[in-house]
Amino acid sequence: MRCAVKGREAGVSLSGLVVVLVVLGAAALVAMRVFPAWAEYRSIKQAIVVAKATGGSNREMQQAFERNAEINNITVISSRDLVITRDNGEADISFAYEKRIPLAGNVSLLIDYAGTTDPSGDVAAKATK
């Protein structure tokens, strides 16, 4: 049997609480800064899928991407940055870009984004903007 020692207190100290709050604050700051860039990346991936579904010539797919980019406020890349490849008559669209996200002062986060409609996942675009 265990006996509880009287007078012994349990809990989080003030310094421990401050450390936990600082870590949570830093994580929240990074999440708030990264989420818009991630949401734009997801919009670009959806836009190239829609552009591929429209089919047609390369210019028609670029125009479809431009329409979707205008609706979804995609500003980081344009239709000229897309790499459209044709393999056995089927078009695949790829893109790649870098996004620099300032965090605090001179500290920033650099993320490389890339995507493709190719089922194999091979990204033809390696150019950065």
Other residues' Cβ atoms within 10 Å of the Cβ of residue 79: 22
pLDDT band at 31 (very low <50, low <70, confident <90, very high): very high
Average pLDDT in the chain: 88
pTM comes to: 0.79
Closest CA to 55 of 86, 82, 78: 86
Is the pLDDT assigned to residue 114 strictly greater than 90? yes
The answer to whether 129 touches 83, Cβ cutoff 8 Å, is no
Region 11-23: what's the mean pLDDT? 91
**Which residues partner with 116 through β-bridges?**
94
Task: Note the pLDDT of residue 89.
Answer: 81
Question: What are residue 100's DSSP bridge partners?
Answer: 110
Length of the chain: 129
In sequence order, what E strands does 27-106 have?
83-87, 90-104
